């Protein structure tokens, strides 16, 4: 039994307006998502060729005129992160030299976002470096979903539209009946309290927080669980699942201390290393994620349900192009 793709709850444009000057392009990172965004907008995905020379250098060719147009580039900088990031930078340079009027980078997933501060002496702040490179390459604006740290918006000197995946997850959980169950939303750490609180308010349920310490990267120890979760269905929500060690440790602690069931939700399904095996063999009953990162067939386990972000991204693009408000999409979420 493979992964299920949940029916998308569409965001319907308020009115049909001229999008003839909007051009939508995509690199190789996630063309399937880009095609679905184009379908939401009712336009075609414009043509761009991305190949590699024999030594691995990336070669970009824009196959149609972009002069004077409003260009949107869809490219999550997911694995292989260095390739997808470099491809994005070269695409930006190509469109800058092709005289595009404006170039908006749509990064459903912002790679290197976890390196947003110095935690030890002589460490880089790579999230800032990536922001500098994107701007230097020519980006006029950036769109991202659930940045690992919201302060990354301040690393850019151009406008950043920060989209939230929580409402998509919340709507699906309501459709699945979690609003009728004895449910509690759980943050896997103190840093994710705001996200858990917002989802709990959407479901009209209480929330709890796991206090933990990290002895080393991707290793966690649960110290305490704050809140009433015993004999309840626990919905753990995080911005991403990488190796899964952190969130699975939280799920095991919840079950060991009296939770009835644990489901996991995330925006970014990084799923690196032992993540898929860990999820499959874990106490977690179901996993919900957005499609900000492509999920290969080998990682599509039966517990996984993928929720589409295409309408959210498409509506944000439409509003940016038409100079309409993007923040109104989340006025009941923050």
The set of catalytic residues is 212
What is the distance between the alpha carbons of residues 240 and 106, in angstroms, rounded to a whole number? 18
What is the distance between the alpha carbons of residues 246 and 170, in angstroms, rounded to a whole number? 22
DSSP letter, residue 273: T
Residue reference for tokens 């305490």? 224
Q: How many CB atoms lie within 10 A of CB 14?
A: 11
What is the distance between the alpha carbons of residues 333 and 166, in angstroms, rounded to a whole number? 8
What residues have CB less than 8 Å from 273, skipping those under 6 apart? 242, 243
* Residue 256: φ, ψ to 5°: -65, -25
Nearest CA to 9 out of 200, 180, 168 is that of: 168
> Is residue 101 a contact partner of residue 68, using CB atoms and an 8 Å limit?
yes
What is the distance between the alpha carbons of residues 157 and 257, in angstroms, rounded to a whole number? 46
Planar angle of CA 256, 260, 262, nearest 5 degrees: 80
Question: In the chain, what is the greatest distance between 2 CA atoms, to the nearest angstrom?
Answer: 61
Nearest CA to 225 out of 188, 176, 191 is that of: 188
* Residue 242: φ, ψ to 5°: -95, -95
Specify burial of residue 118 (Cβ count, 10 A radius: 0-12, 13-18, 19+). exposed
């Amino acid at each position: 039994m493979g992964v299920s793709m949940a029916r998308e709850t569409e965001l319907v444009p308020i009115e049909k307006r001229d999008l003839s000057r909007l051009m939508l392009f995509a690199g190789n990172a996630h063309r399937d998502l880009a095609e679905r965004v184009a379908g939401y907008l009712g336009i075609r995905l414009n043509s761009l060729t991305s190949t590699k020379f024999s030594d691995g250098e990336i070669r970009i060719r824009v196959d149609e005129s972009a002069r004077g147009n409003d260009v949107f580039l869809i490219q999550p900088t997911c694995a292989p992160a260095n390739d997808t990031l470099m491809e994005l930078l070269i695409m930006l340079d190509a469109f800058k030299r092709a005289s595009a009027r404006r170039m908006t980078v749509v990064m459903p997933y912002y790679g290197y976002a976890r390196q947003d501060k110095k935690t030890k002496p002589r460490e880089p702040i790579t999230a800032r470096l990536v922001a500098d490179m994107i701007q230097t390459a020519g980006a006029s604006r950036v769109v991202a979903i659930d940045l690992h740290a919201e302060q990354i918006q301040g690393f850019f000197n151009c406008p950043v539209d920060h989209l939230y995946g929580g409402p998509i997850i919340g709507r699906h959980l309501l459709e699945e009946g979690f609003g009728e169950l004895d449910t509690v939303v759980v943050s896997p750490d103190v840093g994710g309290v705001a996200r858990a609180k917002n989802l709990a308010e959407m479901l009209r349920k209480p929330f709890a927080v796991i206090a933990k310490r990290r002895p080393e990267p991707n290793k966690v120890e649960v110290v305490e669980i704050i809140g009433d979760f015993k004999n309840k269905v626990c919905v753990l929500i995080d911005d991403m699942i990488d190796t899964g060690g952190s969130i699975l440790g939280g799920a095991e602690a919840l079950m060991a201390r009296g939770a009835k069931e644990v489901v996991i939700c995330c925006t970014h399904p990084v799923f690196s290393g032992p993540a898929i095996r860990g999820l499959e063999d874990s106490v977690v009953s179901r996993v919900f994620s957005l499609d900000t990162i492509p999920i290969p067939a080998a990682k599509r386990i039966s517990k996984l349900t993928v929720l589409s972000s295409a309408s959210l991204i498409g509506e944000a693009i439409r509003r940016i192009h038409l100079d309409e408000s993007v923040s109104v999409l989340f006025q009941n979420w923050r």
